[in-house]
């Protein structure tokens, strides 16, 4: 993973020094936390990729799930329980022979029926695995979907519960229930929040079962933890946090993740959830009402290029952009001759990577001359290792950024607001 | 389509009066424009749904494409040339027996190969149609994809060009080329911009060929034109524009389209492109540099609910939300008994529509008590008629909003900025 910021921001090393200095204590803390696997701190998600016990537990569970017969993996989970898995899967699946992933991440009778039909069509329940992922164990949509799916497929497959794997906090009501019924369970460490949990069983189990090389994913994540907790030039998470914070202080409170590979759109959505929920806070660390936050957006190049270029370049100076791209390993080439040649003469005989690179550079130049700042992330291939490194980089960047903004990256107090009304309405509807 | 705004904004009819007054002249103009099909004004997209000649031309072309043998429709087009078709298709396809749509809306060797493989696998070229959509006729990505796809499938299907239909401005280089080669062509009226073109051949031809009832789509659009150009209580586009403008003036420059049906995500993306490109402008109507714009975001309930609720309720007061939902015609019900019952006791035996409604109402209540304003759009079913009405409503709302913001809704001057650099780079790479 290559992180470049100088050309796009016009900032110098010196301008990042005050933020670096402010973050030095916290960086040291992260460096220390990374040395353990005790999951005793809110930042303990950075320990996950070093946890060999976890890796073995996941791999054992995958073997138990009979990966050779599994064709479909259903993931029932919402937000942090599913976005990380989707991000990695969607980035890799177009070029890999992975098993099929179905995500039930909201209530949708249509999606539920499609998945139930597909599972019922299998002769044996060994053709699928259903992962029920809920950190708290009590997420309404997740449990409702698990209940409905179980009953829908039980008629055909009386033993379908053997194909359910539950991933939740140890000791949650869901955990206890699953144990009572002899279901397979995997724990999420209590201190690891949903949006930081992709390197725990939450992401690792479904991904490994689907055929993703989780050892490579973890290896990329480990390298990113080392790089981004050190006091060195490799610490791009700290640099990025300093830059985003600088831009935010200067009125750029919208952060666009502009991916130039369509298969990375889900990765952008994972980033969106991570940063929206971690940084949007009413109170700061001292308990003072501050109402701060950064609004994350996701754009896909070049599909969204006209509208985002028009808005970013023409519109108000309220945005900051992180461009993310990777060259395609299997490139294509525009032919020299075709019915449509000469309509865009410059594209004839050029490679797709080459044209895309010209489009990206054209975009960067236009952003620069409009004074619209950006940084660039280049993934050296769409591989497990690079994705692991990028995701870990983003999680640590978010922690640094929360420190600079002086908010708690790990709580989500406002979520309770809508949940309590929903519960009351559901209770009333039952009567 | 039902539009509600009083509860969520706390505004009164009286507070909208000044904006209504300001818009009265423009409203009258729209009302007059809607009576013709001369396509002589920038607003002429509102004439499309009344244009019987257009409808006949599209239906004739669909018949010529042998819809009975077509299984796959490939749409090569970017931004306004593809987003509208995707929006309608994605909303309807989960519950309909439509043909399969493949969209090539950016450069992606992976997607291109997948589509080429699929077309080549057919015994006859009559099994597919390829729509090449480019208003200007010179969009680099679109022409490059058309060139590559043609050459890729020509080896198997020498007559594949007969299966290409070109949709572009009459007289563009692409138009002339297609005519020279005896390809089928459909025109987009010159004054109808890409992002306002879904009710032209751009959206109608691929949708009709896929099996969408375009007469119903147009009927919904016609009703929306009538309602939203009148001076009456049915004019919800004017009300919505007045409200969004009011919020924007009060610092809420981010407009979230929060859909509560996952199948409406593409519709949200269509709205995003429409408003980003129409309203993000450097200069106002008098040529004065103003740099205004509204940043559109798309959220999907309940997948994005935790992160968006946390950011909207906890974070800065810079957002305004339009909730969009429809009840599902084919509902599902959570069973009374299951292994997972009692974990969320209130969901037992409830319908999916019922739970989703409680979640929506819970969200609304939380937004209200946090002082976060919103409006609601209820679609009475996921049907062609409702989608046509909603899209037409949004296009007219955007025109009103541009008037209130005093910008030109129909140009995109900043897009040229990146295009010229890209062209230079491509030229250099050729040498």
Decide if A297 and B301 are in contact by the 8 Å CB cutoff. no
C-alpha B302/C-alpha B285 separation (Å) is 40
Q: Vertex A395, ends A87 and A46: CA angle to 5°?
A: 110
The encoded tokens of residue B279 equal: 């309203």
Structure confidence at residue A417 (pLDDT): 76
pLDDT at A431 over 80: no
Structure confidence at residue A275 (pLDDT): 97
Number of alpha helices (DSSP H) and beta strands (DSSP E) in chain B: 15, 12
Neighbours of B84 (CB within 10 A): 31
The encoded tokens of residue A215 equal: 């050892």
C-alpha B367/C-alpha A224 separation (Å) is 38
Structure confidence at residue B99 (pLDDT): 98
Q: Vertex B34, ends B33 and B38: CA angle to 5°?
A: 65
What are the chain B neighbours of A78 within 8 Å (beta carbons)? 302-303, 306
Cα dist from B404 to A231, B235, B410, whole Å:
51, 16, 14
Of A86, A60, A64, the closest CA to residue A75 belongs to: A86
CA distance, residue B239 to nearest chain A CA (Å): 24
Q: What is the CATH architecture assignment of B37-212? A: 3-Layer(aba) Sandwich (3.40)
> Domain ranges in chain B?
2-31+217-405, 37-212
What are the chain B neighbours of A287 within 8 Å (beta carbons)? none
Neighbours of B93 (CB within 10 A): 18
Residues A346-387 have pLDDT tens digits of 899 999 999 999 999 999 999 999 999 999 999 999 999 999
Token pair 């563009």 is at which residue?
B172
For B46, counting Cβ atoms within 10 Å of its Cβ (0-12 exposed, 13-18 middle, 19+ buried), the class is buried
For B131, counting Cβ atoms within 10 Å of its Cβ (0-12 exposed, 13-18 middle, 19+ buried), the class is buried
C-alpha B141/C-alpha B414 separation (Å) is 18
Under 8 Å between Cβ of A330 and A261: no
Residues A62-115 have pLDDT tens digits of 999 999 999 999 999 999 999 999 999 999 999 999 999 999 999 999 999 999
DSSP secondary structure of B49-69: GG-HHHHHHHHHHHHHT-TTT
CB pairs under 8 A between A and B: 406
Average pLDDT, chain A: 96
Decide if B413 and A346 are in contact by the 8 Å CB cutoff. no
What are the chain B neighbours of A307 within 8 Å (beta carbons)? 79, 195, 272-273, 276-277, 280
- How far, rounded to the nearest angstrom, does the alpha carbon of residue A398 sit from its chain's CA centroid? 12
CA distance, residue B46 to nearest chain A CA (Å): 21
Q: What is the dihedral of CA B146, B152, B158, B160, to 10 degrees?
A: -40
Structure confidence at residue A429 (pLDDT): 79
The encoded tokens of residue A331 equal: 């490139």
Neighbours of B123 (CB within 10 A): 8
Decide if A430 and B339 are in contact by the 8 Å CB cutoff. no
Under 8 Å between Cβ of A217 and A207: yes
pLDDT in tens, chain B (431 residues): 999 999 999 999 999 999 999 999 999 999 999 999 999 999 999 999 999 999 999 999 999 999 999 999 999 999 999 999 999 999 999 999 999 999 999 999 999 999 999 999 999 999 999 999 999 999 999 999 999 999 999 999 999 999 999 999 999 999 999 999 999 999 999 999 999 999 999 999 999 999 999 999 999 999 999 999 999 999 999 999 999 999 999 999 999 999 999 999 999 999 999 999 999 999 999 999 999 999 999 999 989 998 998 999 999 999 999 999 999 999 999 999 999 988 988 899 999 999 999 999 999 999 999 999 999 999 999 999 999 999 999 999 999 999 999 999 999 988 877 788 888 888 887 76
ipTM, interface predicted TM-score of the complex: 0.96
Dihedral-angle region of residue A3 (phi above 0 means left; psi in -120 to 50 means alpha; beta otherwise): beta
C-alpha B154/C-alpha A78 separation (Å) is 44
What are the chain B neighbours of A328 within 8 Å (beta carbons)? 108-110
Residues A24-67 have pLDDT tens digits of 999 999 999 999 999 999 999 999 999 999 999 999 999 999 99
Nearest CB to B302 within list A141, A146, A359: A141
The encoded tokens of residue B92 equal: 């309807």
C-alpha A402/C-alpha A392 separation (Å) is 16
Token pair 């922690």 is at which residue?
A399
The encoded tokens of residue A189 equal: 């460490």
Neighbours of A401 (CB within 10 A): 27
- How far, rounded to the nearest angstrom, does the alpha carbon of residue A45 sit from its chain's CA centroid? 14
C-alpha B335/C-alpha B352 separation (Å) is 11
Which pLDDT band, with edges at 50, 70 and 90, does A295 fall under?
very high
What is the topology classification, in CATH, of domain A2-31+217-405? Rossmann fold (3.40.50)
Nearest CB to A106 within list B148, B177, B262: B262
C-alpha B257/C-alpha B260 separation (Å) is 10
């Amino acid at each position: 993973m290559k992180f470049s910021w100088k050309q796009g921001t016009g900032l110098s090393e010196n301008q990042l020094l005050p933020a670096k200095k402010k973050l030095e204590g916290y960086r040291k803390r992260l460096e220390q936390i990374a040395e353990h696997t005790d999951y005793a701190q809110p930042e303990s998600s950075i320990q996950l990729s070093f946890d060999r016990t976890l890796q073995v537990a996941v791999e054992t569970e995958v073997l138990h799930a009979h990966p050779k017969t599994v064709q479909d993996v259903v993931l029932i989970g919402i937000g942090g329980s599913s976005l990380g898995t989707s991000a990695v899967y969607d980035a890799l699946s177009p070029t890999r022979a992975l098993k099929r992933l179905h995500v039930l991440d909201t209530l949708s009778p249509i999606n539920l029926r499609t998945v139930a039909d597909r599972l019922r069509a299998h002769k044996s329940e060994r053709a699928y695995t259903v992962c029920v992922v809920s950190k708290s164990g009590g997420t309404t949509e997740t449990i409702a979907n698990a209940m409905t799916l179980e009953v829908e497929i039980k008629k055909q497959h009386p033993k379908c519960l053997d194909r359910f794997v539950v991933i939740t906090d140890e000791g949650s009501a869901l955990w206890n229930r699953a144990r009572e019924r002899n279901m397979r369970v995997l724990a999420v460490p209590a201190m690891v929040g949903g949006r930081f949990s992709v390197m725990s069983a939450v992401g690792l189990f479904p991904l490994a079962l689907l055929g993703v090389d989780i050892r490579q994913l973890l290896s990329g994540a480990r390298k990113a933890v080392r790089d981004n907790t050190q006091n060195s030039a490799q610490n791009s998470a700290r640099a990025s946090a300093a830059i985003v914070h600088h831009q935010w202080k200067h009125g750029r409170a919208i952060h666009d993740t502009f991916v130039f590979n369509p298969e990375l759109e889900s990765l952008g959505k994972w980033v969106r959830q991570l940063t929206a929920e971690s940084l949007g806070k009413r109170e700061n660390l001292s308990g003072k009402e501050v109402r701060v936050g950064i609004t994350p957006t996701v754009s896909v190049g070049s599909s969204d290029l006209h509208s985002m270029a028009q808005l970013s370049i023409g519109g108000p100076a309220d945005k900051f952009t992180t461009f993310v791209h990777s060259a395609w390993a299997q490139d294509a080439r525009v032919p020299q001759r075709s019915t449509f040649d000469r309509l865009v003469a410059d594209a004839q005989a050029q490679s797709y990577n080459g044209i895309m690179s010209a489009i990206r550079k054209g975009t960067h130049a236009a952003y620069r001359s409009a004074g619209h700042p950006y940084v660039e992330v280049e993934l050296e291939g769409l591989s497990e290792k690079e994705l692991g490194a990028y995701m870990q980089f983003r999680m640590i960047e978010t922690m640094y950024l929360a420190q600079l903004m002086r908010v708690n990256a790990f709580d989500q107090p406002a979520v309770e607001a809508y949940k309590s009304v929903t519960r009351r309405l559901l209770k009333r509807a039952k009567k």
